[in-house]
Amino acid sequence: MSFSATYFGSSGWLIEFEKLRILIDPWLTGTLAFPPGRWLIEGKLAQEIKIPEQIDLLLLTQGLADHAHPETLSKLPRSIHVCGSSSAAKVVRNLGFKKVQELKPGTTTQIKQLTIETTKGAPVPNFENGYILTHPVGSLYLEPHGFFDDQISSRKIDAAITPVVDVKLPLAGAFLKGKTVLPKIIQRLNPLTILASTTGGNAEFSGLLGKLMKMEGSTEEAANSLDQSRDIIDPVPGLKYLLKTYD
């Protein structure tokens, strides 16, 4: 039995529960920009990433371009089963995807042997999604901005994908709360492995927002705060990480 994670940079991941392959929030090609224009912020990949083969499920946490990247999504087969937040579902439907399942916080969905528990995620400005994925070979918690849903019950999760730093903007405050939320994730979910996400990858950013962002914390600082029974991984894009499980 195998349970693995491959990082693609930004918020993009390929999660494999044995032969079930789940592509999450991919930005694999083209540039990344937000309204009102590229002067605000623009991201460029150092090199494009090959679209993974044999994707069984596309899982999207948000409808914003860094999670539901239109140029990347347009290269995927429209027959792929897509699950995502309300805003993400709107994006993929507009791109012509045929099998789109809108997931709302507080609901649970079953796809083959995979259980998807949808949690309340970041308010950007409407609440988006986080997920708890449970499969016979492993379990995973995912929320890309570090917003933890207090309705999540205490349990043991094998791995968690979360930012481990806080990133702030003047006046707006923190829009990534990884450093702040990490102790709560550990207390409530007790993950064996923490996969740091969101700020990594082979991308360069320009524009006004990039100059104003302030980061607090680091992967090293987060690692030093953990006991030795827990692993923290600062993932290298393109590498597959085999994940430990409780069973």
Sequence-separated (6 or more) residues with CB below 8 Å from residue 3: 16, 17, 18, 135, 137, 138, 158, 159, 242, 243, 245
Q: What per-residue confidence (pLDDT) applies to 47?
A: 79
Residues 146-160: tens digit of each pLDDT: 999 999 999 999 999
CA distance 233 to 189: 17
Fold that domain 3-240 belongs to in CATH: Metallo-beta-lactamase; Chain A (3.60.15)
What is the model's pTM?
0.92
Q: Where are the domains of the chain?
A: 3-240
Question: What local confidence, expressed as pLDDT, does residue 211 receive?
Answer: 61
Low-confidence ranges of the chain (pLDDT < 50): 39, 171
Q: What is the pLDDT of residues 179-220, one digit of tens each?
A: 889 999 999 999 999 999 865 566 666 555 556 566 677 788
Name, in order, each residue with C-beta under 8 angstroms of 23's C-beta and a sequence gap of 6 or more. 12, 13, 14, 52, 55, 57, 58, 59, 76
Q: What is the pLDDT, as a whole number, of residue 202?
A: 67
What DSSP character marks residue 144? T
